[in-house]
Amino acid sequence: MKITTKGQVTIPQDIRERLGLLPHTEVEFEVRGNVVVVAKATTGRRGRRIVESLRGRGDVPKTTDEILALTRGDE
């Protein structure tokens, strides 16, 4: 495996799947002697970023109570 001119490396798919490294997953790097360890970041930012990216994008002209009634089957 080689590092690109932009300093990028592709993590093999089987490793990404095994560790749950989805697109936009934050990772951390740790140097241990001559070894670099890559691990999922434990900051929990991914969920917040997803919510922030969806905020204000709803286009259903319903109130929160109406939407909750639909999801509960209370129509």
Is residue 6 in a domain?
no
Is residue 3 in a domain?
no
- Helical segments of 1-75, H only: 13-19, 45-54, 64-72
Q: What is the pTM of this model?
A: 0.49
Is residue 1 in a domain?
no
Is residue 2 in a domain?
no
Instruction: Domain of residue 45: give its range.
Output: 13-72
* 25, 40 contact by CB (below 8 A): yes
Q: pLDDT at position 51, please?
A: 82
Mean pLDDT of the chain: 86
The total number of structural domains that make up the chain:
1
State percent of the chain over pLDDT 90. 37
* 29, 36 contact by CB (below 8 A): yes
Is residue 4 in a domain?
no
* 38, 32 contact by CB (below 8 A): no
Is residue 8 in a domain?
no
Q: pLDDT at position 53, please?
A: 82
CA 39, 32, 1: angle at the middle one, nearest 5?
65
Q: pLDDT at position 43, please?
A: 67
Q: Which residue has the higher pLDDT, 62 or 75?
A: 62
Segment 1-37, tens digit of pLDDT: 899 999 999 999 999 999 889 888 888 899 999 999 9
Is residue 45 in a domain?
yes
DSSP 10: P
